[in-house]
């Protein structure tokens, strides 16, 4: 036994003679790799950026509101800067000029999406339009989505859903008047009802979605997209970290719950005993594509589910967030509130409510919505892009696999693009052709280029029609224990939502006969 131990000790000790050689080879390898990288980087000029820490890079600089933190950094390092977020090089764009370079001039070189666990899971591994990488499948789905589903003609055909849900909102507000109401709850229910009816049809209601469990699952899905995943910043080891923190398990649980509801809806639409609906909903349309064998691409059940996920996430967030910010700004600015209400009421006269065809005449209301999009874009930082090849933005080189974030919140408040940028002043759009459809890079709430949001017509129409009826049917006051200036404008989360619920008092317009 003693002999065996002594042999082991001699053996272990003998290995140390190789240690200097191993260390030498390791250092030499690292130096050679660094030299190779330096050779590759000769002549390459990357954007400036702040100093970084080992391992985490610049992650510590993001803060609770990344769009605000990045805007402050851009004032020091410029409108295009390079951050190292974990192991991922990331370019931040914060001006209209640089955004045009990325989203228009070099759009084709950076129009794919980087892999991300939350979006990947809920998009059924990239089968949707919003999160899918650039591919032939994505191009076909987007083409169909825009031309057949989200054209202005189709948006107008969904008027029945908008009108029905706005009628419910107005009735609910009238019954509550003159007591304070939590507008966050009311407006989320409005947006949820419109999108749910358009997507699922008239089955979307309390009978099929009992106890609002679906709403809880939908809210959790939004939280999952709002959460930082370690895998986003450390692709090699991030999945292990997410598993240890419980984020991975939480994501899987939420996905299977959400998938279960979508499967139930698909089964109902596939039921041969189902009566033909009066209005074709989103599922009906996508099911037709699934059955059409003449298509150049294959639409599966998972494709349908992925597109439904896009509709809910984009439609509800865009509509509810924008309406709540618009109402907050209007109540804090009585001059603007009085002016927009006067326009609506003079235009509509003594009708019981605003109709869809009336909205086109409300020019000042449209300016109010534009100004809301400028100050409070529903997605303050556009979904990340990834460079597919090297290209230049100004004098700087953008290398392949670099992530690109466009800070539209910062662009909307850039003093180089806007006079008095922090003031809510809709008149700045009077006589201006600036729009939010992706051709004016000072105003990009829906993005631009190939990855712009295809649902912008639907979102803008829902916002304008809903606001018009709320402002026509009611005057709005703050509760007795508050002043207008007490209304919190604090933001929360990556979707730029109001952190504090908006509680207001609706006072029915006495000249109207609202039930």
What is the DSSP code string of 208-242? TSGGGHHHHHHHHHHHHHHS--HHHH-TTTHHHHH
Distance CA 181, CA 79 (A): 41
* Inter-helix orientation angle 183-200/159-176, to 10°: 160
* Inter-helix orientation angle 456-473/183-200, to 10°: 130
pLDDT for residue 511 = 63
For 325-346, write each residue's pLDDT tens digit.
999 999 999 999 999 999 999 9
- State mean pLDDT over 103-126: 94
Q: Whole-number mean pLDDT of the chain? A: 87
pLDDT exceeds cutoff 80 at 19: no
Contacts of 488 (CB under 8 A, 6+ apart): 498, 499, 500
Compare 196 and 9 and report the one with higher pLDDT: 196
pLDDT band at 475 (very low <50, low <70, confident <90, very high): very high
Alpha carbon 319 to its chain's center: 11
% of the chain exceeding 90 in pLDDT: 55
pLDDT exceeds cutoff 90 at 27: no
Compare 248 and 149 and report the one with higher pLDDT: 248
Q: Which helix (DSSP H) or strand (DSSP E) does residue 313 occupy?
A: helix 301-332
pLDDT for residue 66 = 93
Q: Is there a contact between 94 and 71 (Cβ–Cβ < 8 Å)?
A: yes
- State mean pLDDT over 439-465: 92
- State mean pLDDT over 16-24: 63
Half-sphere exposure of 97 (CA within 13 A, CB side): 9
Distance CA 138, CA 250 (A): 28
pLDDT for residue 12 = 46
pLDDT for residue 495 = 67
- State mean pLDDT over 220-248: 86
pLDDT exceeds cutoff 90 at 205: no
Quick one: which of 164, 166, 170, 168 has its CA closest to 506?
170
- State mean pLDDT over 256-280: 85
For 428-449, write each residue's pLDDT tens digit.
999 999 999 999 999 999 999 9
CB neighbour burial string for 295-304, b if at least 16 within 10 angstroms, e if fewer: eeeebebebb
């Amino acid at each position: 036994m003693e002999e065996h131990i002594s042999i082991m000790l001699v053996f272990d000790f003998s290995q140390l003679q190789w240690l200097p050689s191993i260390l030498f080879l390791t250092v030499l390898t690292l130096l050679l790799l660094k030299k190779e990288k330096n050779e590759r980087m000769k002549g390459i000029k990357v954007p400036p950026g702040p100093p970084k820490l080992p391992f985490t890079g610049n992650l510590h600089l993001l803060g609770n509101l990344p769009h605000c933190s990045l805007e402050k950094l851009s004032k020091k390092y410029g409108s295009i800067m390079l951050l190292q977020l974990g192991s991922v090089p990331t370019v931040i764009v914060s001006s209209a000029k640089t955004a045009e370079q990325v989203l228009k001039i070099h759009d084709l070189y950076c129009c794919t999406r980087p892999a991300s666990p939350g979006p990947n899971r809920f998009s059924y591994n990239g089968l949707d339009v919003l999160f899918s990488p650039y591919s032939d499948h994505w191009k076909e789905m987007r083409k169909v989505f825009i031309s057949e589903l989200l054209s202005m003609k189709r948006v107008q055909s969904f008027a029945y859903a908008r009108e029905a849900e706005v009628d419910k909102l107005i009735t609910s507000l009238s019954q509550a008047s003159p007591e304070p109401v939590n507008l966050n709850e009311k407006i989320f229910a409005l947006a949820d009802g419109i999108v749910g009816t358009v997507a699922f049809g008239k089955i979307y209601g309390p009978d099929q979605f009992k106890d609002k469990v679906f709403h809880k699952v939908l809210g959790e899905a939004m939280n999952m997209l709002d959460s930082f995943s370690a895998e986003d910043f450390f692709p090699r080891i991030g999945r292990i970290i997410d598993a240890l923190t419980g984020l991975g398990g939480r994501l899987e649980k939420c996905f299977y719950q959400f998938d279960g509801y979508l499967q139930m809806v698909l089964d109902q639409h596939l039921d041969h005993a189902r009566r033909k609906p009066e209005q074709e909903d989103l599922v009906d349309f996508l099911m037709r594509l699934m059955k059409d064998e003449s298509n150049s691409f294959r639409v599966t059940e998972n494709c349908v589910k992925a597109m439904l996920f896009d509709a809910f996430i984009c439609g509800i967030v865009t509509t509810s967030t924008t309406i709540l910010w618009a109402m907050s700004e209007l109540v804090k600015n009585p001059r603007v509130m009085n002016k927009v209400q006067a326009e609506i009421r003079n235009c509509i006269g003594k009708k019981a409510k605003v109709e869809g065809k009336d909205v086109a005449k409300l020019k000042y209301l449209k300016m109010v919505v534009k100004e809301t999009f400028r100050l409070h874009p529903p997605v303050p930082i556009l979904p990340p892009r990834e460079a597919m090849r090297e290209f230049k933005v100004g004098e700087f080189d953008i290398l392949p696999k670099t992530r690109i974030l466009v800070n539209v919140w910062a662009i909307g408040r850039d003093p180089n693009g806007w006079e008095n940028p922090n003031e809510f002043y809709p008149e700045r759009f009077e006589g201006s052709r600036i729009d939010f459809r992706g051709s004016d890079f000072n105003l990009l709430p829906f993005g631009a280029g190939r990855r712009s949001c295809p649902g912008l017509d639907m979102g803008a129409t829902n916002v304008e029609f809903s606001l018009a009826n709320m402002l026509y049917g009611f005057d709005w006051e703050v509760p007795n224990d508050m002043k207008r200036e007490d209304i919190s404008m604090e933001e929360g989360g990556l979707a730029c939502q109001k952190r504090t619920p908006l509680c207001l008092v609706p006072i029915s317009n006495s000249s109207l006969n609202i039930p």
